[in-house]
Chain A
Amino acid sequence: MLLIRRFEERSLRAYQAKKIGGFLHLYNGQEAVAVGCCSLLGDNDHVITAYRDHGHAIAMGMDIKALMAELYGKATGCSKGKGGSMHFFDPARNFWGGHGIVGGQVPLGAGIAYALKYRGIAGACLAFMGDGAVNQGSVHETYNLAALWQLPVVFVIENNGYSMGTSQARSSAGELSKRAEGYDMDWGICGGHDIYEVRACMAKFVAQARDRSKPAIVEIDTYRYRGHSVADPDNTYRTKAEVEEYRRSKDPIQVFRNALLAEGVLDEIGATAIDAAVRAEAEAAAEFAEASPFPAVADITKDVYWEEDNPSEKQSRGRIFFG
């Protein structure tokens, strides 16, 4: 969680220094959701999420050097500088993105679950989405398919209260996870500020999906500290006091830290050392990104087609790129 926080703080500074282009959607405040959920996963479990993907990528074990380099648009980035902040991928770590179109990843999550079931692999797929995504048609179609075919997928709604500047009350009729009832699916709801609570709630649904191929929808209530993206001035739809109140009483890192200190698992010296190590790691990632080369112009047309990148396997004829 701390690595996610420090990584993002460092990336924010890089963004402000104009080292990063486009959008930067920060996950600050939501860390316990990704970390709590992903900490329950085994080798055959998979994750897919939306564009607010830094936390999930790190929780799935991606190297923050490659992530920072991606933000900088460098050839050493996890997507070779082609995807950017919203499009992190690492299939080797069962992390399937990073998707920019709201709701677009949700059918893919069910598809991954379908492949697991088809291939007889005992695994589950967690398909994360925001509270704004639940109103996309593709999400509802996918709920039905997952329930109809009993796919090993857990739909995780990260409810941070807002989709851009629209509060949940202004965007959604009814309760979000309860929509599962219409599809005869299990559902749950829990707080997302306490990693123990996230794990306790999710453990059952992940196990059900993995062991009995039972889908479910789980809503995890959380909060984002920053605007929708760094470009959002965040001054029209919520109060500063609301943000501060959450930070003060429910910051997921603080809550976890306090729990560990109280349990005696960690002392102040240890906590400080972890923080220092993580800050240094984030700094090193920025240095790595800074020192890395940009892709070449010729790279623009690479990674478009399998056959073009693997000419020895080429079977089709004709011209494929046009100028």
Chain B
Amino acid sequence: MPLLSYREAIRHALAEELQRDPNVVVMGEEVGQFNGAYKVTEGLLEKFGPKRIVDTPISEAGFVGLGIGASMLGIRPVIELMFWSFYAVAFDQILNNAANIRYMSGGQIHCPLVIRGPGNGGTNVGATHSHTPEAICASHPGVKVVCPATAYDAKGLLKSAIRDNDPVLFMENTLLYGEKWEVPTEEYLIPLGLADVKRPGTDLTIIAHGRAVVSSLAAAHTLEQDHGISAEVVDLRSIRPLDEETVLASVRKTHRVLLVEEGKPFCGVGAQLAFMIQEAAFDDLDAPIRRINSIDAPAIYSPPLEAQQLPDAGKIIQAAIELLR
């Protein structure tokens, strides 16, 4: 199977869906002539022309809202946020319009749009540019939230997201764009809401999404090699819908749970998972659930300190060892 970078995988998903459905439109800042701030959309303008690949001014509330409106009348906009951090400028449009219109219209209207871009820290760009909005967004019924960790997942999930009839918030990671994984050449789709056991194990379950999956896999490898601990790594892939079945099956198998998440701890994705696990599988747990998040403060700029603010393999290994004690 050919190796494809995460960036290329997303680009291929966009190109395939643009090809397949004339109503798909890619829109955002610098997506066309500049080839994308992170080069995800490179070459798409040349291939599909300015009607399909639309450069916008810096007006997130405007073009996100416009995308929602267009989706109501049959367009399938895929809107790029240069950083997910800029969602805040368009928050009203996302949460009051995209998430609510189907409900408030009694199901008469639906909003098939995707908002995508990188939502991560770890690149020393400071607090304004390092938000991880999956937990905040997923707490709003009406939107779906997807956080792929690999190129394979990014491609299959984005294609499903574009075909989905509800708004999908698709959160990528700048630190993964250059990472390569095996991606088949033939077409495939990954349904939203299906978690993936990225590494089977028996001693504990590590549950993660996005780049935290990559750190968890690295940690699981070391745990096996150096400590004889067999960790199962469950990649949620999508936060809402949430694959409770896969999570619970793993918990019932290993009886110990470590949640790893780049977002902040308070009301994070882990809080929801921990609730769900204790509610459904309390008797299966042999130890309290543990979690690792970013240190609870805005993202610090200072490069060596930001590295310590985020979850990493070292912290995961330590927590796993403690969990098994």
Once the chains bind, are B296 and A321 in contact (CB under 8 Å)? yes
Question: A22 is contacted by which of B60, B88, B124, B304 (Cβ under 8 Å)?
Answer: B124
| Chain A nearest Cβ from B95, distance in angstroms | 16
Once the chains bind, are A166 and B57 in contact (CB under 8 Å)? yes
Once the chains bind, are A294 and B305 in contact (CB under 8 Å)? yes
Question: A166 is contacted by which of B55, B86, B302 (Cβ under 8 Å)?
Answer: B55
| Chain A nearest Cβ from B53, distance in angstroms | 14
Interface mask (B276-310 → A, CB under 8 Å = 1, otherwise 0): 00000000000000000101111011111110110
Residue B34 interfacial (CB < 8 Å):
yes
Query: Which B residues are in CB contact (< 8 Å) with A137?
Result: 59, 61-62, 89
| Chain A nearest Cβ from B175, distance in angstroms | 13
Once the chains bind, are B301 and A82 in contact (CB under 8 Å)? yes
The residues in A between 181 and 201 inclusive whose CB is less than 8 angstroms from any CB of B are none
Interface mask (B54-66 → A, CB under 8 Å = 1, otherwise 0): 0101111110000
Question: B125 is contacted by which of A84, A99, A171, A322 (Cβ under 8 Å)?
Answer: A84
Query: Which A residues are in CB contact (< 8 Å) with B264?
Result: 322
Could you tell me the distance between the alpha carbons of A129 and B209 in the complex, rounded to whole angstroms?
37
Could you tell me the distance between the alpha carbons of A100 and B298 in the complex, rounded to whole angstroms?
14
Q: By CB atoms of chain B within 10 A, which of A132, A165, A170, A171 has the most?
A: A165
Once the chains bind, are A236 and B33 in contact (CB under 8 Å)? yes
Could you tell me the distance between the alpha carbons of A81 and B299 in the complex, rounded to whole angstroms?
11
Residue A270 interfacial (CB < 8 Å):
no
Once the chains bind, are B57 and A132 in contact (CB under 8 Å)? yes
| Chain A nearest Cβ from B29, distance in angstroms | 7
Could you tell me the distance between the alpha carbons of A294 and B304 in the complex, rounded to whole angstroms?
8
Check A73/B302 contact, CB under 8 A, given A86-B128, A164-B37, A166-B30.
yes
Residue A87 interfacial (CB < 8 Å):
yes
Q: Which residue of A lies closest to B304 (CB)?
A: A294
Question: B126 is contacted by which of A100, A321, A322 (Cβ under 8 Å)?
Answer: A100
The residues in A between 63 and 116 inclusive whose CB is less than 8 angstroms from any CB of B are 70, 73-74, 79, 81-84, 86-87, 99-104
The residues in A between 299 and 316 inclusive whose CB is less than 8 angstroms from any CB of B are 299-301, 304
Once the chains bind, are B89 and A82 in contact (CB under 8 Å)? no
Once the chains bind, are A323 and B265 in contact (CB under 8 Å)? yes
Once the chains bind, are B86 and A101 in contact (CB under 8 Å)? yes
Could you tell me the distance between the alpha carbons of A170 and B30 in the complex, rounded to whole angstroms?
11
Residue B163 interfacial (CB < 8 Å):
no
Question: B59 is contacted by which of A100, A136, A304 (Cβ under 8 Å)?
Answer: A136
Residue B52 interfacial (CB < 8 Å):
no
The residues in B between 83 and 107 inclusive whose CB is less than 8 angstroms from any CB of A are 85-86, 88-89
Once the chains bind, are A21 and B124 in contact (CB under 8 Å)? yes
Could you tell me the distance between the alpha carbons of A301 and B86 in the complex, rounded to whole angstroms?
24
Interface mask (B19-61 → A, CB under 8 Å = 1, otherwise 0): 0000000000110011101000000000000000001011111
Query: Which A residues are in CB contact (< 8 Å) with B297?
Result: 300-301, 304, 321
Once the chains bind, are A294 and B302 in contact (CB under 8 Å)? yes
Once the chains bind, are A297 and B308 in contact (CB under 8 Å)? yes
Check A236/B126 contact, CB under 8 A, given A73-B302, A84-B301, A132-B58.
no
Binding site for A on B (CB under 8 A): 29-30, 33-35, 37, 55, 57-62, 85-86, 88-89, 123-129, 264-266, 293, 295-298, 300-306, 308-309
Having A22-B303, A323-B296, one finds 17 other A-B pairs with CB under 8 Å, namely A21-B306, A23-B125, A73-B304, A81-B300, A81-B305, A82-B126, A82-B298, A82-B301, A87-B301, A101-B86, A136-B58, A165-B33, A166-B55, A295-B302, A297-B295, A299-B300, A300-B295
19 contacts between A and B (CB under 8 A): A22-B303, A82-B301, A87-B127, A101-B86, A102-B58, A104-B89, A135-B57, A136-B59, A164-B30, A166-B33, A170-B55, A172-B57, A236-B33, A236-B34, A237-B34, A299-B305, A301-B297, A321-B296, A322-B265
